Amino acid sequence: MNLTALFETQKLLDAEIEKKHPAPTGENRLRKKILATLTEVAECANEFPEIFKFWSNKKTNPQKGLVELVDILHFLLSIGNQHRKVIVPVEDMRKSGDTEDCMIDLSFNISCIEFVEEAYSSAFFRYVELTQLLGFSWEEIEQSYMEKNQINYQRQEAGY
């Protein structure tokens, strides 16, 4: 796994987005990215209802969940490029909690990125842990990220 390459790939996409959608003076893009990331975490959770929706019989949809996990990664990499990039030794990470706790901790750490020095690294760690807890290999995440990255370029070309 090469996180440096992922950060660089995201940097190129972000530059393309910035060309087509320049930030108005005074706009806090970091804060918007934080909110977008939190939204993607919630969308991901909704694709794994068996984790927390005790009131529902809706079944988990791992493929849709993978799409949402990759959307989270796009924003985490973008935030890292803009704010506080910390390369985390992902290969050394092991599952340490349950999925519900991991999603809550991920959301909390994302919420704190703008204000707490360690929050970005903690969020990234919890993201990688979440992918493992949900049964995805890092190779699956990377491959899906690259596929979605191409879709994001196509969307920019189409005026998304």
Domain tally, the chain: 1
Domain limits for position 59: 3-19+27-157
Structure tokens belonging to residue 44:
């991901």
pLDDT at 9 over 80: yes
Each residue of 43-96: pLDDT tens digit? 999 999 999 999 999 999 999 999 999 999 999 999 999 886 665 555 555 566
Region 124-132: mean pLDDT is 93
Region 120-136: mean pLDDT is 93
User: How far is residue 23's CA from residue 29's CA, in Å, rounded to a whole number?
Assistant: 7
Whether residue 103 contacts residue 41, with contact meaning beta carbons closer than 8 Å, is answered with yes
Q: What is the mean pLDDT of the chain?
A: 90
Quick one: pLDDT band at residue 97, thresholds 50, 70, 90? confident
Structure tokens belonging to residue 60:
């988990």
CATH code of the domain covering residue 153:
1.10.4010.10
pLDDT at 118 over 90: no
What pTM value is reported for the model? 0.91
DSSP class of residue 47? T
Whether residue 93 contacts residue 160, with contact meaning beta carbons closer than 8 Å, is answered with no
Of the two residues 97 and 23, the one the predictor is more confident about is 23
Whether residue 68 contacts residue 44, with contact meaning beta carbons closer than 8 Å, is answered with yes
Residue 83's pLDDT is 81
Residue 12's pLDDT is 95
